Amino acid sequence: MSPALTIRPYSEGALTQAAAKLRAGELVAFPTETVYGLGADATNDDAVAGIFAAKQRPSFNPLISHFPDRDAAARHAIFDARADKLAAAFWPGALTLVLPKRDDSTVSHLTTAGLPSIAVRVPAHDMARALLRAVGRPIAAPSANRSGRISPTTAAHVAASLGNAIGMILDGGPCGVGLESTVIDLTTDQVVMLRPGGITRDQVAQVLGCDVVMAETDDNAPKSPGMLTSHYAPGLPVRLNADAPDQKKYGHEILLAFGDCVTKGFDKVLWLSKTGDDREAAANLFAKLHEADQPRFDGIAIAPIPDTGLGLAINDRMKRASAPRALHPTP
C-alpha cells in the first residue's frame, strides 16, 4: 500500500519529522543544490531496497552516500591526498568522489552495489546538510524521479513522479544547479570523470594539477573491465535459474535460495528470501553474494526468481554476474 504523501516546507518540525522517518527506514525526498534526492538510510538494506522499488529501476546501480561534512564521509571512505584537495576545494558542493570503501563502513552492500568502492558527496544545500546532521547516518540518495524520467528540481516534480511511492517530501523550493553532481573516480592512479556535472573537468584538473580522463569518450581511459565498470562480479562462476543440483556438471555449489525453490542436494544454502519476497531478496542480494563467494565452492547457483517487481533488477544483476567476464557490459 502506498503511504499518504506529506509535503512539508522547511521548519524545525519538518526536519525532525524527516530525520525520524529516515532513521526508521522510510524514504524521504529532500532538496540538494543539484536536484531533489530520494533519501534512505544508506546503512539499512531494506530501506535502500525501497529506493529501487520506488524508482522502478530495472537494475541496481551504485548510489551516492550523502554526508554533512568531509569528516563524516571519511568514516566510510578512504581519502587520499587528491580526495582531500578536491573536498577542500569543492565541498560542500556538486562533486561526488568515488573512493575505496572502508572495511569498517556500515554502508549497505546494496548502496554500493557490492563494490569495494563508495561514492560520497557533501551537498551545499543548507536544508540537506541540516537533515544529514539530524539523521547522523549516511543517506543514500539518487535523483528523486522514476527511472527514465527527467531529474526533479522542485517538490512538485518529485510528487508527480514518485508521489504514490514515498511518504514525505521536504520542500526547499527549486534547486539552484538543476544538474546532477560531477562524479570523479579516484580508485586508481588516474583521475577519471564518470559523470559530467556542475563542476567541470577543467576545475578538477586545475585543483589537482593533473589530467582528468573522461570515462566514456577518452582514448586514455582505462579499458579493462572492473576498473571502471560499476558492476560487482563474484570470483566464482554464477549459474542462474538453478532448479536442481548437479555435481557432475557444476561441482560443489552454494545456493542462493528464494521462495519454494529446491534446496536439497546443494552444498550450502543461503536464503535471499524464504517467503519469496522480492524486496527482501534485493536487500540481501549483495551481502549474500559476498558471503557465498568462497573458494571452497566451485560455483554459486541462483534459484529461479520471477521477473516481477524488484525481481527484474535482481535478475539483471545476476545475468551480468553470470556472463563470461570479458563480456561484462560497462555502465
Environment class of 150 (CB within 10 Å of its CB; exposed 0-12, middle 13-18, buried 19+): exposed
Q: By the 8 A CB rule, do 10 and 172 touch?
A: yes
Does position 273 bind ligand TXA by CB under 6 A? no
How far apart are CB 245 and ligand TXA at their closest, in Å? 34
- The gap between the terminal CA atoms of the chain, to the nearest Å, is 33
Contact string (CB under 6 A) for ligand TXA, positions 212-251, x = contact: ------------------x---------------------
Please state, in angstroms and rounded to a whole number, the distance separating the CA atoms of residues 228 and 184: 11
How far apart are CB 2 and ligand TXA at their closest, in Å? 22
How far apart are CB 286 and ligand TXA at their closest, in Å? 12
How far apart are CB 94 and Mg ion at their closest, in Å? 14
Contact with ligand TXA (CB under 6 A) among 29, 194, 238, 312: 194
Query: Which residue in the block uniquely carries the three cell numbers 566451485?
Result: 298
> Judged by CB under 6 A, which stretch of 62-70, 208-216, 261-269, 272-280 contacts ligand TXA?
62-70
Does position 143 bind Mg ion by CB under 5 A? yes
Sites for ligand TXA among residues 133-192 (CB under 6 A):
141-143, 180-181, 183, 185
Sites for ligand TXA among residues 95-134 (CB under 6 A):
96, 98, 112, 115, 117-119, 121, 123
Does position 328 bind ligand TXA by CB under 6 A? no
- Our CB check for Mg ion shows the closer of 117 and 145 to be 145
- Residue 18: which residues within 8 A CB-CB, separation 6 or more? 8, 28, 30, 131, 134, 168, 170
Distance of CA 276 to the CA centre of its chain: 23
Q: By the 8 A CB rule, do 314 and 281 touch?
A: yes
Residue nearest to ligand TXA (CB): 37
How far apart are CB 35 and Mg ion at their closest, in Å? 8
How far apart are CB 326 and ligand TXA at their closest, in Å? 20
DSSP string for 203-245: HHHHHHTS--EETTT-TTS--STTTS------SS-EESS--S-
Q: Which does 34 bind (CB under 5 to 8 A by kind): ligand TXA, Mg ion, none?
A: ligand TXA
| C-alpha separations of 241 from 34, 290, 300, 325 in Å | 41, 19, 11, 19
Please state, in angstroms and rounded to a whole number, the distance separating the CA atoms of residues 145 and 153: 10
- Partnered with residue 213 across adjacent β-strands are 192
The three cell numbers locating residue 34: 543539484
Q: Which residues bind Mg ion (CB under 5 A)?
A: 143
Q: Which residues bind ligand TXA (CB under 6 A)?
A: 32, 34-35, 37, 61-64, 96, 98, 112, 115, 117-119, 121, 123, 141-143, 180-181, 183, 185, 194-195, 230, 331
